Amino acid sequence: MKLSALAEGRFPELPQLSPEADIHSYMSSGGLVFRSLDRDMFDAEPMRELSGRRPLVCTEFQGQRVILKGYTVNEEAEARVLERTTQFHRTRTQRESQPDSGILPLLALFFGKSDPLAYVMVPYFPNGSLWAVQAAKPLTATESVKVMRGVARGL
């Protein structure tokens, strides 16, 4: 993050001088892509109760509890994943000023070095499973209508 600020400011040659830092990917993705991260760097605990087909782990990143969700990605699909995720991230960032946008923020995207997975990092929410929330406190009819409107608007 600090390197991209330096590259944008007084040192535009920095991405070429330090290609291993991959500053260009970070800058072009709006601060979403971290090429220097890897799943093995985190002391992560599996979230089996929330994991479906994809691995889901809970860990800490920059002092915040986060969820890492892995997606299988081959080399040819990596560019598409990067482009679509960056587009989603920019749209989400533009809509941040709107209250109740209902869109989960993406904190980071990185590709595993030791496995063929792309990891999406999102904030951790206690009782973050819709099933757990519904079991604890079912929605009223009015709340259900509001949720369905949000789903329809999202489609």
The pLDDT tens digits for 1-34 are 455 455 556 656 655 556 555 555 555 555 556 6
Confidence label for 54 from pLDDT (cuts 50, 70 and 90)? low
58 and 120 share a domain?
A: yes
Residue 93 has pLDDT above 70, yes or no: no
Report which of 145, 104, 103 is spatially closest to residue 123, judged by C-alpha positions.
Answer: 104
Residue 112: CB atoms within 10 Å: 15
CB neighbour list of residue 42: distance below 8 Å, 6 or more residues apart: 57, 59, 60, 61, 68
Residue 60, pLDDT > 70, answer yes
Confidence of residue 101 (pLDDT cuts 50, 70, 90): low
Residue numbers of the domain that contains 144: 127-155
- How many structural domains compose the chain? 2
Count CA within 13 A, CB hemisphere, residue 69. 11
For residue 16, is it within any domain? Answer: no
112 and 79 in one domain? Answer: yes
CA atoms within 13 A on the CB side of 119: 27
Q: Kindly state whether residue 149 falls inside one of the protein's structural domains.
A: yes
Instruction: Verify that 55 and 77 share a domain, yes or no.
Output: yes
Q: State both tokens at 109.
A: 């995207």
The per-residue pLDDT of the chain, averaged, comes to 69
Q: What is the mean pLDDT of residues 107-118?
A: 75
pLDDT level of residue 85 (50, 70, 90 thresholds): confident
